[in-house]
Amino acid sequence: METTPAPPAGAAPGYIRGTSPPSIDGRRVAAVALILATLALAALTVILALSAARGNPANAALRSSGRSVKATVTGCSAISSGIGQLIQYYDCSGSFVLGGKRQEAPIRGERNQLPAGAVLEAVAAPGSPPLLALPGTFDAKPPQWWPVIVSAVATLVMSVLAWRSSRVRRLARM
């Protein structure tokens, strides 16, 4: 039977064969975590602001260059959740004539199964790939700025907290 030698007298708790665990300053760890969280929130704020400013480019294209067309449903695919779970919605596609060319594209704005061969009033925009949507599904909606505002305020609050904690620590050292 092998025995472990007893730690030397006066050794710190957690003593392991001649080494001791590093001493960790909890305030420094908290400050680093606060700074990293502030940087992550700042990045999120920038991403949300860019997304809100850009809006939805597909909807903008349908509004600006969309043309009324008759689309024929060519088929639908069931989209399920998980492995063999329930059907969540259907992705349907349709064919239409735009600019003298017959094209096919997914039908935006409808999640129910549409019968193959059904003819629908739709709006199509040229492009690669072309866009096809049912009327009323791409109406103008103002950009959503509230997520940007919330994350900006949270970033500001965390920045102030990080600045104050570092300033208090510097003053305490003097």
Confirm whether pTM is higher than 0.85: no
Say how far apart CA 95 and CA 25 lie, in whole Å.
Answer: 66
Kindly write down the DSSP assignment for every residue of 60-83, as one continuous string: HHHHHH-EEEEEEEEEEEEEESSS
pLDDT of residue 110: 83
Q: Model confidence over 104-127: pLDDT tens digits? A: 999 988 888 999 999 999 998 888
Please list, residue by residue across 89-125, b when 16 or more beta carbons sit within 10 angstroms of its beta carbon and e when fewer do. Answer: ebebbbebebeeeebebebbebeebbeeeeebebbbb
> Would you say 77 and 90 are in contact if contact means Cβ atoms under 8 Å apart?
yes
Among 163, 98, 171, CA closest to 130: 98
Burial class (CB in 10 A: 0-12, 13-18, 19+), 144: exposed
pLDDT at position 119 is: 94
pLDDT bracket for residue 171 (50, 70, 90): low
Average pLDDT over residues 66-89: 85
Q: Which two tokens stand for residue 155?
A: 């970033």
* 7 compared with 67, residue with greater pLDDT: 67
Local structure of residue 7 (DSSP, 8 states): P
Q: Residue 82: what pLDDT?
A: 72
| Distance between CA atoms of residues 125 and 60, nearest Å | 10
